[in-house]
Amino acid sequence: MAVPKKKTSPQRRDRRRSHLALKPVKAVLCSHCKQPKTAHRVCNNCGYYAGMEVVQPEE
């Protein structure tokens, strides 16, 4: 079984983990109702996705 010969320094450990942080979700405008929505998701306001009505919006 492999065992590390030296202790990993905090600097090296943190540099390796620098890409693990969560990035903020970017909002885009819906092409139908012009309200902000998450990219590649059905619009919560109007129920449209890619120019087609996919779901009936709850009112």
Under DSSP, the state recorded for 16 is: H
Whether the predicted pLDDT of 2 surpasses 70:
yes
More confident residue, 59 or 15: 15
Residue 2 falls inside a structural domain: no
In this prediction, residue 51 carries a pLDDT of 86
Residue 39 falls inside a structural domain: yes
Task: Give the residue numbers spanning the domain of 52.
Answer: 27-59
Whether the predicted pLDDT of 58 surpasses 80:
no
How many folded domains does the chain comprise? 1
Q: Give the H or E element holding residue 15.
A: helix 10-16
In this prediction, residue 59 carries a pLDDT of 66
Cα–Cα distances in angstroms (integers) from residue 57 to residues 15, 21, 40, 54, in the given order? 45, 34, 17, 9
HSE on the CB side for 16, CA within 13 Å?
Answer: 6
Residue 43 falls inside a structural domain: yes
Residue 8 falls inside a structural domain: no
Residue 11 falls inside a structural domain: no
Per residue in 3-57, pLDDT (tens digit) is 999 999 999 999 999 999 999 999 999 999 999 999 999 999 999 998 888 888 7
CB 39 within 8 A of CB 23: no
